Structure 1
């Protein structure tokens, strides 16, 4: 499933032809695997700048849906396949893959990269023993986006720090089936980085854990029952039809089209609900992710980042690309082409000291606050033996959570009850963890 961006390819070919790079045989081709979200698509549209500065490097793109990308890259890197020179991976993969020796250190990026400008929490999540193994393209937490006009029409006012009960009440009040307005939009598509990102972060706020301190699965706990039943009931009352098929991109489209009253998802979505693609751009407010009063909110911490597998034969060219795509000059490039609101968020301290950005991005302050309150070392109410807010930082998690996500998506689709889904999740997690030797 390979989608090569025509614009980038054409620009690269033209540049190579103009410089004679093909003729003398010195062109280096790198293959970049990335996810099909807005920030990455913007990066591809700006490749003319990279091609002009680096005519000796030709870039080919493989752009995939999130779940497919993860499966594809995991298979390739674990087998040393060498299909890619630059990988788009997240905060979950980087420490594990770096520790396995699968990624190239980026500690030798040039001084103008300004590595100390990276937000400490993001930089730390992409490092192992002081070695930076991936460069963040954008960082995010999660928060609440909502329609201010619908909230006002419902006679309600969104608190800066809402509870889940308020969200459910407001969603029900904002739902208008006759006009295709869903009070709540939330991830339902199965996947460890799709519905399980939302539900794991949400479960933290309900006091749930994936595992107790002895690595025993906890899906048979009251806290997980409360989490899943609340989610399913709220989605049945106020969510869109076919919600079990909706991930980030599907919910973004619904919100942009004016079909969601509330959407709880990544802070990186902020720019896309207020840009020209959004029919409700001037009617969007932002609040923190909800809680239940137990001291934890349902917000996560993540970074989509660029890394180089050790199997790459073009590591120098790959580092040149990463320096361009994640370095400080890239923000100015995006701002010039798309406006400051479109600059990839959540990676550099300097962005949140830039008045041009702060004035253009009404979600900026809430993004910083949300990222700052997510604690990977203490993600939930009770102690846990793992790190990670919306994931558990062990190699087995991706496979287990994908299966659990399928169970929960099945419950959302009405194919089984919450209790059945939780029982199945408990059994399969115990089996997989036992087999892994925990």
Structure 2
């Protein structure tokens, strides 16, 4: 399969990427942190506010800074906000931030446009880092078109189904070893109301290409749909795409959480932790939080593979990884932070201080052979590893794709397209419009992308 970067002239692709990713900057939303960059013995790190990241922030001063003398200034923002801020700084090569959390969606695109430091030289010299221990799907997803590494994973994930074993037992329900979405819908209906205020399932509905569109696109894939066919024709109005979206919207409206249109990963995590939902389909990384010290549902959960319909598997592949800005004033010190934050030693530190279930796993083979991790994460660790290794980013559906990606389409324009489509879907979840109306508008948006790529 040929990626769009090989089908489009490099200059055209770079301009498209800059135009898409710089949209917030051109609209006047630039907000630098005081207008000063890093320097001397300090670096600036911009990262998403996921729990694993905030844990890292707490541990950095007492460990990394103490050991290296390098001060780390963190800026921590919600996912949608941090993506905008990162794109502003990196696309403009402003150098405000040395390091940022980037996903396997952004890193190949950023690398293609010269916005990231190549990490091969650092990896070669850093003998303690052990690059070959990083799981192959993660390494491949953070490699540029030139075959060089431009990111290192902090944690990796796929997606699976989480459910309350005690609730299922009390209701006489059984989770299939390999559930279909139709079976999940039936179970959600029966589990709905199993406890005070408990809903059958939690599914993301919050607008954002990385929010509602992530799980929904995996449903589209396994129902036989696709955003674009192999010739770049938009297919959001196809029967398969419509069936998948109608299924998802109906399921969350009938048996999902209240306020679903404003619920993302964080809200569903909170609902599951507080016993407000019997099932949750989302990132495998959630399991470590649900099974962590102090969690009210620790030990009460079961895990099943991502539900399917027409495909054998449907889990996504995702990593929050570290990228070093090409314009960084301190790339060597930035690498030292990246190396520490992605290392085996950091996982051990988290295991010792917060429990192994909280370790940022999903990226290293050694994690899954560590006796302490295997013991504490016994309920989910093997299924997580299998989900990551079985993810199919180049072939996630029932038809050939023109670009890689399971829960996204690996082109620069998807940031804007996915967000706009997510707003339409979220409105349907909220009951403000029909699914047909949402997809009719979404198809028109996707057709604009088709015009850019067809025939190239």
How high is the TM-score relative to the length of structure 1? 0.92
Once the two structures are TM-superposed, the CA of residue 120 in structure 1 deviates from its matched residue by 0.6
Matched, 1:36 2:52: no
**Cα distance in structure 2, aligned partners of 1:378 and 1:336:** 39
**Cα distance in structure 1, aligned partners of 2:199 and 2:293:** 22
Corresponding residue SS for 2:360? coil
Q: 1:33 to 1:45 in 2, by over 3 A?
A: same
Corresponding residue SS for 2:45? strand
Matched, 1:52 2:54: no
**Cα distance in structure 2, aligned partners of 1:124 and 1:199:** 24
Matched, 1:164 2:177: no
Residue of structure 2 in register with 1:325 after alignment: 341
CA contact (8 A) 1:186 1:265 kept: yes
Residue of structure 1 in register with 2:165 after alignment: 148
Corresponding residue SS for 1:411? helix
User: What are structure 2's unaligned runs of at least 5 residues?
Assistant: 1-29, 34-38
Corresponding residue SS for 1:63? strand
Which residues in structure 2 correspond to 1:90-109 (within 5 Å)?
Answer: 90-107=103-120, 108-109=122-123
CA contact (8 A) 1:288 1:370 kept: yes
Residue of structure 2 in register with 1:237 after alignment: 254
CA contact (8 A) 1:27 1:58 kept: no
Once the two structures are TM-superposed, the CA of residue 241 in structure 1 deviates from its matched residue by 1.3
Residue of structure 2 in register with 1:137 after alignment: 154
**Cα distance in structure 2, aligned partners of 1:283 and 1:93:** 36
**Cα distance in structure 2, aligned partners of 1:158 and 1:177:** 16
How high is the TM-score relative to the length of structure 2? 0.88
Once the two structures are TM-superposed, the CA of residue 433 in structure 1 deviates from its matched residue by 3.7
Corresponding residue SS for 2:299? helix
**Cα distance in structure 1, aligned partners of 2:226 and 2:362:** 27
**Cα distance in structure 2, aligned partners of 1:259 and 1:408:** 24
Once the two structures are TM-superposed, the CA of residue 312 in structure 1 deviates from its matched residue by 1.0
Q: 1:178 to 1:379 in 2, by over 3 A?
A: closer
**Structure 1 runs of 4+ off > 4 angstroms?**
435-438
Which residues in structure 2 correspond to 1:18-33 (within 5 Å)?
Answer: 27-33=40-46
Q: 1:296 to 1:419 in 2, by over 3 A?
A: farther
**Cα distance in structure 2, aligned partners of 1:363 and 1:280:** 14
Once the two structures are TM-superposed, the CA of residue 79 in structure 1 deviates from its matched residue by 1.5
Corresponding residue SS for 2:200? strand
Query: Which whole-Å deviations, capped at 9, do the CAs of 1:14-46 have from their partners, x for residues lacking one?
Result: xxxxxxxxxxxx942211001111111111111
**Cα distance in structure 1, aligned partners of 2:422 and 2:143:** 28
Residue of structure 2 in register with 1:62 after alignment: 75
Once the two structures are TM-superposed, the CA of residue 277 in structure 1 deviates from its matched residue by 4.1
**Cα distance in structure 1, aligned partners of 2:293 and 2:128:** 33
**Cα distance in structure 2, aligned partners of 1:436 and 1:64:** 33
Corresponding residue SS for 1:260? coil
Residue of structure 2 in register with 1:336 after alignment: 352
Matched, 1:346 2:362: yes
**Cα distance in structure 1, aligned partners of 2:219 and 2:48:** 24
Corresponding residue SS for 1:127? coil
Once the two structures are TM-superposed, the CA of residue 314 in structure 1 deviates from its matched residue by 1.1
**Cα distance in structure 2, aligned partners of 1:384 and 1:324:** 37
Corresponding residue SS for 1:320? helix
Once the two structures are TM-superposed, the CA of residue 420 in structure 1 deviates from its matched residue by 0.5
CA contact (8 A) 2:291 2:297 kept: yes
Once the two structures are TM-superposed, the CA of residue 299 in structure 1 deviates from its matched residue by 1.1
**Cα distance in structure 2, aligned partners of 1:74 and 1:289:** 31
Matched, 1:302 2:321: no
Once the two structures are TM-superposed, the CA of residue 296 in structure 1 deviates from its matched residue by 3.9
Corresponding residue SS for 1:170? helix
Corresponding residue SS for 1:281? coil
**Cα distance in structure 2, aligned partners of 1:212 and 1:33:** 36
Report the count of equivalent residues. 415
Corresponding residue SS for 1:75? helix
CA contact (8 A) 2:171 2:194 kept: no
User: What are structure 1's unaligned runs of at least 5 residues?
Assistant: 5-25
Match of 1:369 among 386, 397, 401: 386
**Cα distance in structure 2, aligned partners of 1:151 and 1:170:** 9
